[in-house]
Structure 1
Amino acid sequence: MSKSVTILTGFLGSGKTTFLNALLIAKKDKKFAIIENEFGQEGIDGELVMKPDDSLFEMNNGCLCCTLNDNIYEILSELNSRNQEYDELLIETTGIADPAGVANPFFGNSEIKRDFSVKRVVCLIDVALILDQLKNTEEAIKQIVFADVLLLNKTASVTEAHLNEIKETLEKLNPFAKVFKENDGQFPIDKIYATERDQDFKTGGKDTSHDHKSGHHHHGDIASLSFVFDKPFNEKELQMRLFGYLVFEAKDLYRVKGIIHAKDIEHRLILQSVGQSLVITGGRKWDEGEEKKSRIVFIGKHLDKSLFEQMLNGSLAE
């Protein structure tokens, strides 16, 4: 049985390690394997009790911990060989990491996909700094648009009005993500754990034709384009066109995600990009009598809406 994976991301100083420690306390009935990109000044609670020349360290709470100094494939191979020693895997990325690079092995390698399943990517947000980070820092943008959960942290440092402005901005940038907030140092861990990456998401927009609806949101140079289609797609045609775009043209495209209604397929297809890779997996079956719609969102810089409309319309089934 595959191990569930949670990836923690967020810009420098956003509170990732504080949240990780809170998660370990809240889920003390579980044993975790923990991968950290680097050990910062604030480490994980718990004295390391194994010899330091071992690649995995056992903490005094029974969790395993290691740093991502070696190849991630080697680390995951060793963790899989010791999979009876822990229940779930947590990965805390460094504050300047593009999480797509960390997540890519879990989606692009068939053996790792078999042994590990990414359930959620949680991005910690320092609400006092995030608006400036969005203007000045490419890594912060990539972390936000790749996340499934956006956790507003250090909320006492700003007014409620400013918090609402941040929430609205983030929801436009990443309509896939659920937004939660820390309150007096307490994190809504159960709600976060109830959020899984392959769940359906909602997106909307104004009618622009008889065939589909689209929406368009901006934050500076960053655009979020959303499309809703009533007609079914030709799965192979859609996959071929999107793959070609990701490989040859997607320099400023940060993320794609979609719930796809494909012709002659009785269940949803879940489409998502991880870096320049395209991943399509099976979702839950359409309910009897349910209106079948496709919802696709593209997030990036300088996106040409007409190009995506042409690409998607050309992928619809005859």
Structure 2
Amino acid sequence: MSVLQSETLSMLTGIFEAARLIPARTAAQSNVLPLTVISGFLGAGKTTLLNRLLSEPQGRRLAVLVNDFGNINIDAALIKSRSEDAISLANGCACCTVAGDLTRALIKLSDSPEPPDAIILEASGLADPRGIAQVALANPALYLDGILTLVDGETFEERHNDPDLASIFSAQLSAADIIVLNKVDLLGTRGRAVRDHLQELAGTRPVLEVAHADVPADVVLGVRTQQSVAMACLPDEDHSSVFRSWSRVWSNPLGKERLTNALEQLPADIIRAKGIFHFSDNPSQRFIYQRVGSRWKLTPDDAPRVAAPGVSQESSLVVIGPSSKFDVDFVSERFTDGALA
């Protein structure tokens, strides 16, 4: 059996598992909920957009599901602090490896006595959103409202021209009802060329240009897509063979200076890194670390949280890079307890 046949079988198994888990619906359960999928490559701004939607829902009660690549779901942790209706789906592409968890989460939301007005699923940066939609729509209580794909304008040309990333990048673009060119404030003189190239790839579909993922809820929700999602998911094997992830959790607050020095030593070929940190000089203050390509920042998180302050002072870090270049031992050595003490 070829790799493609094997992975297609894996995707179909996920869809069949979803169908098996879904109970028969009665006439009394006739409400159908809209599902919006937010897609985009690693670091495009998906979590930033999702948090904006949660802070300005335009009167809607939104439920969110967050799927991430790796064992620790940093994005879900950031979103859960702002929403009680947040469900984490970690460690894989939702169309292949967590289909059962996704289906159970959707059943829980659709069968709730007080269901949300809409469900938003933030896809892993390495996922084909059409595969996720196929699994989700095995549930007759849902319909696909639309797929929105964010593109990081600053790294667009580099990602599009990378042969290891081309299939994922193209699948995310072709699946979209709406394409959002994010981080236009960082483009400078390259702006027009990037916009023209992306619009050429988008064809007749709209391309919105924004900074800081600032897209209104009324644009994201209520798209009412007419496109079919009856297309194959990207082979999940591509994700695990092309990319590697390393992660670490610390139960106690860290020293800020040593941690910052370690972050500065991360290799240049890292594609994406993100973390949540508490430091020993002020353990109750949470800091958010974001790195896309060579650009990174470590900033205090001053957003209001649903959970009571001080519930957890755990720190966590996830680093993602190309398998061919990712020196896991080098990264791990930078973040040992001894190195950070």
Counterpart for residue 168 of structure 1 = 196
Task: Decide whether the 8 Å contact of 2:79 with 2:86 is kept in 1.
Answer: no
CA distance in 2, matches of 1:192, 1:89: 12
Structure 1 Cα separation of the partners of residues 80 and 199 of structure 2:
36
Candidates 119, 137, 161, aligned match of 1:135: 161
Show structure 2 runs of 5+ residues with no match.
1-30, 91-97, 234-341
Q: Deviations over 1:237-263 (max 9, x none)?
A: xxxxxxxxxxxxxxxxxxxx6xxxxxx
* 1:45-97 Cα distance to aligned partner (Å, 9 max, x none): 443xxxxxxxxxxxx64434232546122322222221623221110111111
Calculate the aligned-residue CA RMSD, in Å: 2.6
Structure 2 counterpart of 1:196, from 220, 224, 232: 224
Compute the displacement of 1:104 (Å): 1.1
Equivalence for 2:48:
18
The match for 1:41 is 74
Work out the CA distance in 1 between the residues paired with 2:79 and 2:37.
18
Q: CA deviation at 1:103?
A: 1.0
Q: Which of residues 128, 136, 143 is equivalent to 1:117?
A: 143
Q: Deviations over 1:156-180 (max 9, x none)?
A: 1112x53332233223323253211
Decide whether aligned partners of structure 1 residues 63 and 135 sit closer, same or farther in structure 2, where only a CA change above 3 A counts.
same
Within the alignment, does 1:275 sit opposite 2:231 as a pair? Answer: yes
Contact 1:155/1:163 (<8 A) preserved? yes
- Distance change in 2, residues 1:184/1:97 (3 Å): closer
Hey, what's the Cα distance between the residues in 1 that align with 2:40 and 2:212? 19
Say if 1:44 and 1:83 are closer, same or farther in 2 by CA, change over 3 A.
farther
38-47 or 95-104, which deviates more: 38-47
- The equivalent of 2:176 in structure 1 is 147
AA in 2 matched with 1:96 = L
Q: 5 Å matches for 1:1-318?
A: 1-27=31-57, 29-38=59-68, 40-42=73-75, 43-47=77-81, 61-67=83-89, 69=98, 71=100, 72-82=102-112, 84-107=114-137, 109=138, 112=139, 114-136=140-162, 137=165, 138-159=167-188, 162-183=190-211, 186-193=214-221, 195-198=223-226, 272-276=228-232
CA distance in 1, matches of 2:43, 2:159: 12
The secondary structure found in structure 1 opposite 2:224 is: coil
User: How many Å separate the matches in 2 of 1:121 and 1:103?
Assistant: 9
TM-score by length of 2: 0.49
Q: Which runs of 5+ in 1 are unaligned?
A: 48-59, 199-256, 258-271, 278-318
Distance 1:32 1:142, change over 3 A: same
How many residues were matched structurally?
188
Per-residue displacement from partner, 1:99-135 (whole Å, max 9, x unpaired)?
Answer: 121011245x3xx2x3111111111111011112112
Does the Cα contact within 8 Å between 2:47 and 2:79 map onto a contact in 1?
Answer: no
Q: CA deviation at 1:2?
A: 0.7
What is the DSSP-based 3-state SS (H/G/I as helix, E as strand, rest coil) of the residue aligned with 1:131?
A: helix
Give yes or no for contact 1:35–1:67 (8 Å, CA) kept in 2. Answer: yes
* CA displacement at 1:7 relative to structure 2: 0.4
Against the structure 1 CA distance between its residues 148 and 27, is the aligned structure 2 distance closer, same or farther, given a 3 Å change threshold?
Answer: same
Rounded Cα–Cα distance in structure 2 between residues aligned with 1:102 and 1:185: 22
Q: Is the 8 A contact 2:53 2:216 kept in 1?
A: no
Classify 1:149/1:100 alpha carbon distance in 2 versus 1 (closer, same or farther; 3 Å): same
Contact 1:103 1:274 in 2 (8 A): no
Aligned to 2:16: none
State the TM-score, normalizing by the size of structure 1.
Answer: 0.53
Q: Which has the higher strand share?
A: 1
Q: Is the 8 A contact 1:134 1:140 kept in 2?
A: yes
- The residue identity in structure 2 corresponding to 1:168 is D
Q: Which has the higher contact order (CA 8 A, sep 6+)?
A: 2
Q: Percent of aligned pairs with the same residue?
A: 20
Whether the 8 Å contact between 1:182 and 1:188 is mirrored in structure 2 is: no
Q: CA deviation at 1:15?
A: 0.8
